[in-house]
Structure 1
Amino acid sequence: MSVTLQIENHIATLTINRPEALNALNGQVLKELEAHLTALKSQFPATVRGLIVTGAGEKAFVAGADIKEISALGGHDAVHFAERGQRIFRQLELLPFPTIAAVNGFALGGGLELALSCDFIYAADSAKLGLPETNLGLIPGFGGTVRLSRVVGVNRARELIFSAGTVGAADALQMGLVNKVVAKAELLATAQAALNSIMTKGPRAVAAAKRSILEAHDLAVDAALAQEAKHFGELCGSAEVKEGTGAFLEKRKPAFAP
């Protein structure tokens, strides 16, 4: 299997499993990733309430797309390849539960684009991140030009993409590209702890908050505010809100049902 899935205590872990190729994204990886993401969405909230995406081995999270496959593309095939990756990464971005990219090594090209499709990026202190496509005469094709500029700002995105530069974990943290930097040995445990904390909150409230934040990027301000009010109204009166407000008034911790 090029992508493995493990589910434990409501946390799913997807591992890109091509360590011999630095976990490069090829057609098989994309196919398996898409299938897993489709299945995971259907398991919320009863079975899955959080996701970690990481890479197998010691060197790489994902070191990019498979160059051999890219070199054979041309014309419409190249457009379809980019659109396929964009669709799958958007599927990841739209999952109704929190997602963390646990970047354990190189996150380059499609690897950084994969990480940027998650809600949070946690990086090992030895990680390297970048979008080096211009070295190949290309540009990022799986959403990198869009998501990187939203995360670090247009000027930083231009600098990283035009120069094909890479940044270490500490610099990535400083510019807001990653949320947290830890020792590699602590990476998965740190991501799991963060998800466990979020999972003490109302799962439908977290899903609605995530959806509203994403919509704020895609809509004009007035339309985004209308969506926020809509999601707020949909939650009010629900069993989840009754439990949350009841627990607050009774001075106890809420116990949200999946």
Structure 2
Amino acid sequence: MAAARGVFAGPIKRLLPRGSFTQTRSWCSNGSVSDKKEVRLNRLEGEDNGIVEVLMCRERARNSLGHVFVGQMRDLVSSLQHDSAVRVLVFRSLIPGVFCAGADLKERAQMSNAEAELFVHGLRSLMNDIAALPMPTIAAVDGFALGGGLELALACDLRTAAHCAQMGLIETTRGLLPGAGGSQRLPRTVGFAVAKELIFTGRRVGGEQAVNLGLVNRSVPQNQTGDAAHREALSLAREILPQAPIAVRMAKVAMNRGAEVDISSGMAIEGMCYARLIPTRDRQEGMAAFIEKRPPRYTGE
């Protein structure tokens, strides 16, 4: 639990005054953007201050997990580890009809066996880093999330999907098995029997079936702009945003660490996380707001 106690580098920063919501422009198709990165951040403003989006746009390769894409994602995730201003993190694609198409097979075909093994090891490490981020994470699946793309979504805490989304760990159809955490996270998400069926067959499931399986938290009909899952992810993020940020982060630690151990050890982890919250100003604010019958004003301190 030493890691759990050291999760916070400092207090969560006080929110800026609330104002209007600010949308990002689609830099994917904007030729005026000179430094087109395949992965970048968008920090929302106004009433959505504290929600941050990871924007994925490897346009010609459908966000496939190539060297540049993975390297930029790794740097970005590393920069977020101690960013206390981020209350909720949403992973989304700017490419219509696709979240992430999985492995870059063109790059993979040029690798030796040793190089491919090393690259997949790095990919598995990246997914572990995403799963270990201290803030709640949401994957907005508007379109295809196959192989490593679904493994990326599974590394997030929560998932939203459009009904028309297609998700699957399809590696067995290519002579492989899920190698970036999918063989471990899918059974923990949908149960072992269902996960084995999906992985053994390489089957794809749509958004409506995915929510019934427990693979995604929410599934919604696709809209005319093709971003229904993203909008639903923002709706979910806005439900998390008003809650006490340190409490939310410590709840994530308690659940993630507790899932790895027996119930007795899990109870001890819960107790240590709870003790971390006792001296916070947010706990005092929560109690005061309840007594005074008003909404709490949490500052992350």
Query: With structure 1 as the length reference, what TM-score do the two structures score?
Result: 0.95
Distance in 1 separating the partners of 2:109 and 2:187: 27
- The SS at the match of 1:4 is strand
Distance in 1 separating the partners of 2:234 and 2:211: 19
Residue 194 of structure 1: aligned partner: 236
Structure 1: runs of 5 or more not aligned: none
Residue 80 of structure 1: aligned partner: 118
Greater CA deviation, 69-78 or 129-138?
A: 69-78
Residue 63 of structure 1: aligned partner: 101
What is the CA-CA distance between 1:74 and the residue it aligns to? 4.0
What is the CA-CA distance between 1:39 and the residue it aligns to? 1.4
Residue 251 of structure 2: aligned partner: 209
Matched, 1:43 2:83: yes
Q: Per-residue CA shift, 1:86-126, capped at 9, x if unaligned?
A: 11111111111111100010000000000001111100111
Identify which of 280, 290, 293 aligns with 1:238: 280
Residue 114 of structure 1: aligned partner: 152
Residue 218 of structure 2: aligned partner: 180
- The SS at the match of 1:184 is coil
Identify which of 40, 61, 86 aligns with 1:21: 61
What is the CA-CA distance between 1:38 and the residue it aligns to? 1.4
Greater CA deviation, 110-119 or 235-244?
A: 235-244
What is the CA-CA distance between 1:72 and the residue it aligns to? 3.3
Distance in 2 separating the partners of 1:242 and 1:90: 34
Identify which of 72, 94, 97 aligns with 1:32: 72
Distance in 2 separating the partners of 1:198 and 1:187: 17
Distance in 2 separating the partners of 1:41 and 1:246: 31
Over the residues paired in the alignment, what is the CA RMSD in angstroms?
1.3
Name the amino acid aligned to 2:177: I
Matched, 1:89 2:127: yes
Q: Per-residue CA shift, 1:99-154, capped at 9, x if unaligned?
A: 11000100000000000011111001110000111111111110000000000111
Distance in 1 separating the partners of 2:259 and 2:119: 25
Q: Which is richer in helix?
A: 1
Query: With structure 2 as the length reference, what TM-score do the two structures score?
Result: 0.82
Greater CA deviation, 203-212 or 179-188?
A: 179-188
Name the amino acid aligned to 1:244: G
Structure 2: runs of 5 or more not aligned: 1-36
Identity %: 36
- The SS at the match of 1:101 is strand
Identify which of 120, 138, 144 aligns with 2:182: 144
- Asked if 2 retains the 8 angstrom alpha-carbon contact of 1:23 and 1:56, the reply is no
